[in-house]
Amino acid sequence: MNVFPLFWIVVTLLAFGFNLLGLMRLVPIFISMPLLFIALYFTIFSFTHRRSFRGFK
């Protein structure tokens, strides 16, 4: 389970680089921005979901 946050950090860095290409108008910005948003969302989710309360067993 500890590999998922590292995976999402790498995906976020790749999406950020892809977004820079979008800002330089080399790729469409309407494709690169949602990818960056999704990568950031899952990165934050992977760090915060581990500490959530799952109830009593």
Q: Model's pTM, two decimal places?
A: 0.81
Q: Give the pLDDT of residue 37.
A: 97
Q: How far is CA 45 from CA 1, 23, 28, 42, 49, in A?
A: 13, 26, 26, 5, 6
Q: Which of 2, 3, 34 has its CA nearest to residue 18? A: 34
Span 8-55, pLDDT tens digits? 999 999 999 999 999 999 999 999 999 999 999 999 988 887 666 777
Span 29-38, pLDDT tens digits? 999 999 999 9
